[in-house]
């Protein structure tokens, strides 16, 4: 008498869903205006990165020395810098540089961290112990400091910043993935799969990986905001794109010498950066809430 493996799997209602129904999501958005606003902010910033010309008529390098340090107005929403360049235009065009670096960093951290955590949790024993001791070492080092060390070794550029931020975040993904794997491998449907003769590779790919990714995906959403802040911080410190390229951290840094007299040169680009980070964290919080249902 054979036992169907599907009958031993957890019921569909008990499984965390990656995407709630469209109607349920729409109703939830209506009840959470801040979540709607967060998605709108993210959509606008993506628009900045993809089609910046739609949001400003100025170029990121267009300067007018007669309009140097012009205050915010209908013509220059964020004012201008010392060279008369429109700061809103530079913020818009800088979104592409910052977001590409951010997404690359998250992809690196998610891809490598997930594999490391999967191997550690699924293999167990000495492999798990050795891998997690290395992960603990990385977790003990502040992520920004680790990123600074990596980018100092690789060289100063936006691409190297993305790689450095991604490497500094691998340990967090590995730890979360390992915890999820250790929870899944004890489930009855995994034991039943072994009993039916399914090999370790088949069990890992068919059952362990799909059922372990929920929390890791939520962490990836949270990491987007964290990576934006890390990329901008490294750019502020001078590790990223060299002037005159527009980059969010560099924009804040360029105005710091004039902030006492012309505060908009640093404050408004900084506020725009903060709004993006807050929006992504709010969206991540909604993802984590969905995973717990």
Domains of the chain: 17-57+75-292 (1.10.3720.10)
Give which of 109, 162, 172 is closest to 142, Cα–Cα.
172
Rounded to 5 degrees, φ, ψ at 186 are: -90, -5
Specify the pTM. Answer: 0.81
How far is the C-alpha of 107 from the C-alpha of 97, rounded, in Å? 16
pLDDT in tens, 159-212: 889 999 999 999 999 999 999 998 888 888 877 877 877 787 888 888 888 888
Write down the pLDDT at residue 292: 55
Rounded to an integer, the average pLDDT of 212-228 is 86
> How far, CA to CA in Å, does 198 sit from each of 8, 185, 192, 206?
14, 14, 9, 10
- Indicate the pLDDT class of residue 4, thresholds 50, 70 and 90: very low
In the 3-class helix/strand/coil scheme, how is the chain assigned residue by residue?
CCCCHHHHCCCHHHCCCCCCCHHHHHHHHHHCHHHHHHHHHHHHHHHHHHCHHHCCCCCCCCCCHHHCCCCCCCCCCCCECCCCCEHHHHHHHHHHHHHHHHHHHHHHHHHHHHHHHHHHHHHCHHHHHHHHHHHHHHHHCCHHHHHHHHHHHHCCCHHHHHHHHHHHHHHHHHHHHHHHHHHHCCCHHHHHHHHCCCCHHHHHHHHHCCCCCHHHHHHHHHHHHHHHHHHHHHHHCCCCCCCCCCCHHHHHHHCHHHCCCCCHHHHHHHHHHHHHHHHHHHHHHHHHHHHHC
Per-residue pLDDT of 6-50, as tens digits, reads 444 444 434 444 444 556 656 666 677 888 899 999 999 999 999
pLDDT score at 6: 45
Is the peptide bond preceding residue 244 cis, with omega within 30 degrees of 0? yes
Q: Is 58 left (phi over 0), alpha (psi -120 to 50) or beta?
A: beta
């Amino acid at each position: 008498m054979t036992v169907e493996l599907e009958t031993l799997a957890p019921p569909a209602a008990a499984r965390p869903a990656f995407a709630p129904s469209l109607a349920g999501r729409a109703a939830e958005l209506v009840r959470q205006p801040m979540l709607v606003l967060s998605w709108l902010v993210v959509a606008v910033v993506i628009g900045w990165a993809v089609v910046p010309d739609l949001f400003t008529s100025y170029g990121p390098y267009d300067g007018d020395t007669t309009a140097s340090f012009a205050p915010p107005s209908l013509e220059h929403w964020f004012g201008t810098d010392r060279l008369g360049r429109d700061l809103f235009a530079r913020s818009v065009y800088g979104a592409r540089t910052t977001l590409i670096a951010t997404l690359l960093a998250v992809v690196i951290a998610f891809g490598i961290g997930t594999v490391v955590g999967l191997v550690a949790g699924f293999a167990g024993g000495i492999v798990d112990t050795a891998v997690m001791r290395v992960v603990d070492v990385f977790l003990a080092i502040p992520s920004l400091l680790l990123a600074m060390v990596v980018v100092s070794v690789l060289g100063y550029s936006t691409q190297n910043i993305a790689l450095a931020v991604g490497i500094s975040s691998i340990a967090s993904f590995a730890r979360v993935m390992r915890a999820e794997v250790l929870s899944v491998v004890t489930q009855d449907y995994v034991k039943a799969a072994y009993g039916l003769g399914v090999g370790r590779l088949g069990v890992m790919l068919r059952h362990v990986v799909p059922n372990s990714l929920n929390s890791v995906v939520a962490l990836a959403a949270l990491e987007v905001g964290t990576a934006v802040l890390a990329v901008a911080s490294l750019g502020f410190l001078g590790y990223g794109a060299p002037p005159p390229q527009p980059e969010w951290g560099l924009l804040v840094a360029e105005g710091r010498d004039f902030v006492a007299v012309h505060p908009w040169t640093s404050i408004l680009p900084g506020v725009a950066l903060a709004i993006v980070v807050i929006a992504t964290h709010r969206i991540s919080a909604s993802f984590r809430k969905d995973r717990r249902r």
